[in-house]
Structure 1
Amino acid sequence: MNANQGSRANPFGMDEECPNCPALRETRTQVVHGYGDVAADFLFVGERPSAAADRVGVPFARGGVGDVDDDADRPDGAAGDDGTDLRRILERLGLCDATSPPERPVLENAYCTYLTRCRHPERPPTDEEVATCEPFLNAEIRMINPEILVPVGERALAELAGEYTTRSVDDLDLEASHGERVRGRGFELVPMLEPSAQTDEQTQRWLEAFVDLMASDYRQTKGRRGR
């Protein structure tokens, strides 16, 4: 972690009372800004806070009984809390301290955030809400200057590919590109299926690909500061 970083939670001091989306102000528990290591090489981006993230204020937090959307749409044969949530994936990569508490994970060389920072319990974010939140995400990417962007899910892949690659979004199929390296402008993208929707085989395939990436010379020549 950067020696000057005071907190992993909202380390850039972004507006925690953001008034920009009136409909979401009525439904959110709190604004969920990014969390993690501000000197990270790896930045994970999801679509919106889950019920658990909305409750504790940490992106990709795991929930319990009643957090329906955390486990929704899981295909037959997919694993549950024993291997497909992002926290466990980060632990297996050595990017999260497995002994750290669920509400305050200790991330090293990883940063987690969302396209939108507030949760509506009954619907995904609108295009307008994603656009309204875009300055938050752009600021995090600019200040962290990661090497690898990991779009988690279809919406994140579409938004990040449209902004940071020259590829047509229509040409990028999430299932086909799960774990593949997609060359971008200053970054590489490594798409990931929603963790709760992955089968064991898909999780293992993504992990093996990312371990190979971490062992490679993945850093770009773009004037990165030393870690």
Structure 2
Amino acid sequence: MDAHQDKLSNPFSMDADCRNCPALADCREQVVHGYGDVGAEFVFVGESPSAAAEANGVPFTGDAAGERLQRILSELGFSRSPPDAPEPDLQNAYLTHLTRCRHPERRATDEEIRNCEPFLNAELRMINPHIIVPMGDRALRELAIEYTTRKPDSFDVCAEHATTIRGRGFELVPMIPPADQTNEQEAAFVEHVLENVFSRDYRQTKGRRNR
């Protein structure tokens, strides 16, 4: 699987017609694969696309929650476009989900998340980030199974928001989902990354390719 960094949308050319989850494939508008810089040191992982992201085909765009995340990315120096941009100009950040399809009436099932797991695992292997930002309890707990030694049910994203969790090969910096954040929580996340992540050598656990 090769990355095509001449494009930010689905740069790994993952299957846009995936039918591994028939119940989702029959009602979705489109598959929403990852978006961003394939050499990113930060990967942001949500649960599943919003209605706006599904319509646009780009994660975390097209609605107020997307604008909040894009504003955070801009404050961290990861975005060079306005928060309402339908195709953000990202650097050093990659946006993705546990599941790539949206059901209009319910959350993804555990089986649907398992079906999508190879997509996320492939992105993380190819990108090899230093920091993973799980957005929400479900993303945090799913990633905890693979990348930490703690029990998944010991995590609470509200308690872990804007903190750093040491993982196996990665560090996790959990975030309350943008749709549920207050302005104070947004500011706390930005402050934590600027003062506690950027201020130290978070790259120490990984070797990086030149780019």
Indicate yes or no: 2:111 matched with 1:138: no
Residue of structure 1 in register with 2:12 after alignment: 12
Instruction: Report the count of equivalent residues.
Output: 208
Residue of structure 2 in register with 1:63 after alignment: 63
The 2-side partners of 1:219 and 1:206 are apart by 19
The 2-side partners of 1:114 and 1:4 are apart by 19
Name the SS of the counterpart of 2:204 in structure 1.
coil
Name the SS of the counterpart of 1:97 in structure 2.
coil
What letter matches 1:52 in structure 2?
Answer: A
The 2-side partners of 1:109 and 1:23 are apart by 34
Name the SS of the counterpart of 1:107 in structure 2.
coil
* Correspondences of 1:159-170 after superposition (within 5 Å): 159-170=142-153
The 2-side partners of 1:192 and 1:178 are apart by 5
Kept in 2: contact 1:187–1:220 (CA 8 A): no
Residue of structure 2 in register with 1:198 after alignment: 181
The 1-side partners of 2:60 and 2:91 are apart by 16
* Correspondences of 1:98-177 after superposition (within 5 Å): 98-99=81-82, 102-177=85-160
Shift of 1:62: 2.6
Residue of structure 1 in register with 2:208 after alignment: 224
Name the SS of the counterpart of 1:23 in structure 2.
helix
Kept in 2: contact 1:100–1:106 (CA 8 A): no
Kept in 1: contact 2:4–2:11 (CA 8 A): no
Structure 1 gaps, min length 5: 65-69, 72-80
Match of 1:94 among 64, 69, 77: 77
Shift of 1:226: 2.2
Kept in 1: contact 2:36–2:93 (CA 8 A): yes
The 2-side partners of 1:121 and 1:148 are apart by 31
Cα deviation code 1:57-91 (max 9, x no counterpart): 10111327xxxxx69xxxxxxxxx6xxx2111111
The 2-side partners of 1:178 and 1:27 are apart by 33
Shift of 1:190: 0.2
The Cα RMSD (Å) is: 1.8
The 2-side partners of 1:226 and 1:215 are apart by 21
* Correspondences of 1:201-216 after superposition (within 5 Å): 201-212=184-195, 213-216=197-200
Cα deviation code 1:70-126 (max 9, x no counterpart): 69xxxxxxxxx6xxx211111111101134862110010000000000000111100
The higher relative CO (CA closer than 8 Å, separation ≥ 6) is in: 1
Residue of structure 1 in register with 2:35 after alignment: 35
Shift of 1:201: 1.4
Q: Which runs of 4+ in 1 moved over 3 A?
A: none
Query: After the TM superposition, which of the residue ranges 12-21 and 216-225 deviates more from structure 2?
Result: 216-225
Q: What TM-score does the superposition give when structure 2 sets the normalisation length?
A: 0.93
Kept in 2: contact 1:45–1:151 (CA 8 A): yes
Name the SS of the counterpart of 2:96 in structure 1.
strand
Structure 2 gaps, min length 5: none
The 2-side partners of 1:100 and 1:190 are apart by 21
